[in-house]
Amino acid sequence: MEALFFWVFAVVSVVAGVLVITRRNPVTSALWLVVVMFCLAGLFLLLHGFFLAAAQVIVYAGAIMVLFLFVIMLLNLDDVELGAARPTFVKGLSVALAGGLVLLVVAALLAGRPAPVAQPPAAVATPPAAPAAGEPSFGDPEALARLLFTDYLIPFELASVLLLAAMVGAVVLAKRELRP
Amino acid sequence: MIVPSLEHYLVLSAILFVLGAIGVLTRRNGLIMFMSIELMLNAVNLTLVAYSRHLADMAGHILVFMVMTVAAAEAAVGLAIIWAIFRNRTTVNIDELTLMKG
């Protein structure tokens, strides 16, 4: 099962990556890049990076790509740079692919979970040992947070300062004119 | 079907990184070059997570977290720069920006 998901995500991410760098229209490129981000989120799930998979979808596919699309729309590039319009059946195919990808991510999420409690205990000879209370397992948000707020507290705080600086810098750069 | 090992993840992330590098090198649209950089950052993230799983060390996840932070900051500042360039020159074609040419 894990192998199947790996190969699906791998092939789709490579194909989508090729499409990102070959499409004429930046909007099309951005949407294919979202496909790559979703595939990588699925691969993170396979590697037990549960928090990172969620962050990948929220931060990359959600925030960064929306920012990209917003700027692309704002620039209002002319037709020479955008290329010709796409036929309708391609649009339909895109919607179908996006829907299928969402289903895949959800299925990967379910496959990565431990066996449900409702399963009869006789079916599993040796059930996976559940981690003791207070001891988070690999990839849990709790384990990540524990590391982030103990060993890596200073890098974490520096990252927040970096984000603040980037925010101020973006506002300054995007202002039409600078007045003292 | 072959069960994926560490090498499979590393090869996949290498392929994605190379695709991003090709995009930066071949495309002249500033926005698509930016997206290619994001693709390269994501490929590195995949390497980090794969090694983190292989070594059972969660420090790799912290690194990925930091890469995501830097990528978000980079996207905000970079897109503001592209917007400022477009306002002054009405183009996002990198080849037409020859202001610094000696």
pLDDT digits (tens, 9 = 90+) for A32-53: 999 999 999 999 999 998 999 9
Asked if A6's CB is within 8 angstroms of B31's CB, the reply is: no
Q: Quick one: which of B78, B40, B73, B33 has its CA closest to A71? A: B78
Please give, rounded to a whole number of angstroms, the shortest distance from the CA of A64 to a CA of chain B.
6
- Which residues in chain A touch residue B80, judged by CB atoms under 8 angstroms apart? 169-171, 173-174
Average pLDDT, chain B: 88
Does residue A141 surpass a pLDDT of 60? Answer: yes
Compute the count of residue pairs across chains A and B with CB atoms less than 8 Å apart: 178
**Alpha-carbon gap, residue B83 to A176, rounded angstroms:** 10
Can you say whether the dihedral through the CA atoms of A44, A45, A48, A51 is positive or negative? positive
Cβ(A39)–Cβ(A9) below 8 Å: yes
**Per-residue pLDDT averaged across B46-62, rounded?**
91
Give Cβ neighbours of residue A153 (< 8 Å, ≥ 6 apart).
Answer: none
Q: Quick one: which of A5, A12, A98, A100 has its CA closest to A43? A: A5
Asked if B12's CB is within 8 angstroms of A43's CB, the reply is: yes
Q: Give the angle B91-B95-B101 at the CA atoms, nearest 5°.
A: 110
Instruction: Report ipTM for this prediction.
Output: 0.91
Question: What is the helix (H) or strand (E) element at residue B3, kind and residue range?
Answer: none
Does residue A120 surpass a pLDDT of 60? Answer: no
Most confident of A153-157, B26-30, B88-92: A153-157
**Per-residue pLDDT averaged across B16-38, rounded?**
89
Cβ(B57)–Cβ(B102) below 8 Å: no
Q: What pLDDT score does A74 carry?
A: 86
Average pLDDT, chain A: 78
**pTM listed for this prediction:** 0.78
Q: What pLDDT score does B68 carry?
A: 93
Residue B99: which pLDDT band, with cuts at 50, 70 and 90?
Answer: confident
**Per-residue pLDDT averaged across A79-102, rounded?**
60
Residue A135: which pLDDT band, with cuts at 50, 70 and 90?
Answer: low
Instruction: Determine the 3-state secondary structure of B74 from DSSP.
Output: helix
**Alpha-carbon gap, residue A28 to A25, rounded angstroms:** 5
Does residue A106 surpass a pLDDT of 60? Answer: yes
